[in-house]
Structure 1
């Protein structure tokens, strides 16, 4: 059974709003054992909507539609659905009660636009919206199911969890599907593919492998689909057991999570504390750490030492070392990491100093040169990297590598 997702809205196509609905729907359908074969984002155009509905019906069993159900004139999904299904809009008393209930205390009185929310295609099955005014419309038409939902994420998620996915399970069942992610660091994608060529070729036909690269790391995703989840789990684990000897030291985790969240568990479990000193990463490492709920249990603070004066006066970096070696150097970054650990009283620390770009490089230290250091009370480790010429990527890769080095030190 195949499902297509259609998201409607000019705002999605011009980048004004990011389409998070498709990703969320795809993830939750996958967890329920359903296959999403295609995602379409289209404009608020009758022609585009009619075309995508007709095309989708020839390829899939279910079409899930979000967007275009608001009360304003640019929301044309309902009228277009009427044209596609050769029907008309009719007043639905239950939906009107929902609209009145939802807007009670929010508006002084219902205007014509509010009242139009209670109009629905005559031949659809209405699924009432418990958290908004736009009703959900279910059509069973010529062997294809069409479901039109609001584009507001909270409303879409509520109806998907409470109505749509349960209905799809009742009608179509749902095979077991198992994914396992292995997080690998510091191996380029092409190099990793070469290392794993024999192992990948020997994978059973029931298991598929995907490479999901990001700066500084790659997610290997093993997927299996079948009737018995336990059998699938065991089959994937057998392949992971064969994978580990090939790339063991480069495996960060056997889960799909950020390096920051891995470190958060590690520091919390070991009851350790952490501080950061950042120059070229500008606080991004601290941001990644503090985005993890509960990080206050182990993260004590950060110094964004962008200027040399802060490196000297706050972190205690020697003025002569900055003059002799430059701010982007091994002596300076090691003094930064030792200084922040001592001044903030942490068990561990990490520091960065580099040339993020696009300007500021030299023949000796081109753009993308970054020194990273980590330390505890007994050991300091520093490494030099060149991450390229793109500023945003340099900051991201330096931040990720700093966290990887920290994990290596902590163990």
Structure 2
């Protein structure tokens, strides 16, 4: 089965909000074997919506539309549905009762006509219940294509998709299996990884596809298998992952989309009852943010000092003023003191410290823009590595964060294995 996703809303096209709905829908449908062929964002304009529907008619099996179902005049999806399907709006009594209960019972205010109009739906549509809002989803078919309209509010859309649409698709359609396996690597660029696995990649079975998903300092390798036997696909993927691990096991840190390096680190730290703290200058707390994004991080992460200014480095973190005067804030010596001092201050086993010049100017240092020093203090020792991550500023910060995780993981695994 093939599907297209359409988001309706001028607020998306002018960059006022970010479309997160399409990604969630795509991921959910992929899990049940539906291939997404297009994602479109279009304006709240009747002609544009109708043209988009017509262009997708019989081209895909499913068209999922989000947005334009609110109670105000600029929300025109329902009326446009009626035009496209040559239908008319009628009051659905069950929806009206739900809307009334939500407005008067939950929100404790009188229901108005706009609220009541949310119970107007095309007479031919299949209603998709929305327990969290006033706008129901709508399922309508024309020739070989099903059009499904969903509210744009993310939590409303997600509930309808998971509890109404997915079960209906699973019941009524035969679908192939699509299985993905992601391998997360750190420390080598996309071209270097590709060179190491070239022969393996060239010999992949036809039903398995490989995609490279690079970002600064890391590369995700996504294997996608498609076929009619789930067991055959899982066994084939398992075999290929085993071969891949033999080739690049030294840079693999995880085997799942959710197995980010911070998740892997958290698991190792928890299992070995180890603790961690960070001291960050040029990364501005981004390392700590990534660490604390993992549920249960409080078991091993004690805290962070974001010492962006020289004053905080000396007054709070107790970095020597003389060290800064002799070597500047962007130096091996300052990074070392940052790591040791935050390790002692937080009483932890491991501490990572970062200081650098992310740009765009050199500020009070002779080091080139893009220079970053990363220090790691362990129970046995402290060491510092120097990098130049180039430009632009965002790239320097992202690569510094990822490299910090890579250094930390290698050192911890070396000591606990």
TM-score, with normalisation over the residues of structure 2?
Answer: 0.95
Q: Distance in 2 between matches of 1:183 and 1:258?
A: 7
> Does the aligned pair in 1 maintain the 2:91–2:121 contact within 8 Å?
yes
Q: Does 1:197 align with 2:194?
A: no
Instruction: Kindly provide the CA deviation profile for residues 336-371 of structure 1, in whole angstroms up to 9, marking residues without a partner as x.
Output: 111110121001000001001111269952111000
Partner SS for 2:212:
strand
Query: Displacement, 1:216?
Result: 0.9
Partner SS for 1:104:
helix
Q: Does 1:302 align with 2:304?
A: yes
Matches within 5 A, 1:10-409: 10-105=10-105, 106-256=107-257, 257-360=259-362, 365-409=367-411
> Does the aligned pair in 2 maintain the 1:354–1:371 contact within 8 Å?
yes
Instruction: Kindly provide the CA deviation profile for residues 2-51 of structure 1, in whole angstroms up to 9, marking residues without a partner as x.
Output: 11111111111111111111101111111112111111111101011101
Instruction: Kindly provide the CA deviation profile for residues 295-348 of structure 1, in whole angstroms up to 9, marking residues without a partner as x.
Output: 111111112222334333443433333222222111221121111101210010
Q: Distance in 2 between matches of 1:288 and 1:329?
A: 24
1:13–1:101 distance in 2 versus 1, CA, 3 Å: same
RMSD over equivalenced CA pairs, Å: 1.6
Instruction: Kindly provide the CA deviation profile for residues 59-90 of structure 1, in whole angstroms up to 9, marking residues without a partner as x.
Output: 10111111101100000001111111111111
Partner SS for 1:55:
helix
Partner SS for 2:209:
strand
1:135–1:307 distance in 2 versus 1, CA, 3 Å: closer
Of 244-253 and 345-354, the range deviating more from structure 2:
244-253
Partner SS for 1:342:
helix
Q: Distance in 2 between matches of 1:190 and 1:362?
A: 36
> Does the aligned pair in 2 maintain the 1:98–1:129 contact within 8 Å?
no
Q: Name the count of aligned residue pairs.
A: 411
Q: Distance in 2 between matches of 1:362 and 1:272?
A: 36
Instruction: Kindly provide the CA deviation profile for residues 111-140 of structure 1, in whole angstroms up to 9, marking residues without a partner as x.
Output: 121111111112212223222111211112
Q: Distance in 1 between matches of 2:297 and 2:365?
A: 40
> Does the aligned pair in 2 maintain the 1:275–1:300 contact within 8 Å?
yes
> Does the aligned pair in 1 maintain the 2:7–2:66 contact within 8 Å?
yes
Where structure 2 has 5 or more consecutive residues not aligned to the other structure, the ranges are none
TM-score, with normalisation over the residues of structure 1?
Answer: 0.96
Q: Distance in 2 between matches of 1:71 and 1:301?
A: 46
Instruction: Kindly provide the CA deviation profile for residues 255-314 of structure 1, in whole angstroms up to 9, marking residues without a partner as x.
Output: 223322221111111111111111111211111112222111111111222233433344
Where structure 1 has 5 or more consecutive residues not aligned to the other structure, the ranges are none
> Does the aligned pair in 2 maintain the 1:368–1:388 contact within 8 Å?
yes
Q: Distance in 1 between matches of 2:335 and 2:51?
A: 59
Q: Distance in 2 between matches of 1:249 and 1:298?
A: 25
Query: Displacement, 1:99?
Result: 1.0
1:309–1:150 distance in 2 versus 1, CA, 3 Å: closer
> Does the aligned pair in 2 maintain the 1:283–1:304 contact within 8 Å?
yes
> Does the aligned pair in 1 maintain the 2:254–2:260 contact within 8 Å?
no
Of 310-319 and 165-174, the range deviating more from structure 2:
310-319
Q: Distance in 2 between matches of 1:175 and 1:381?
A: 52
> Does the aligned pair in 1 maintain the 2:177–2:229 contact within 8 Å?
yes
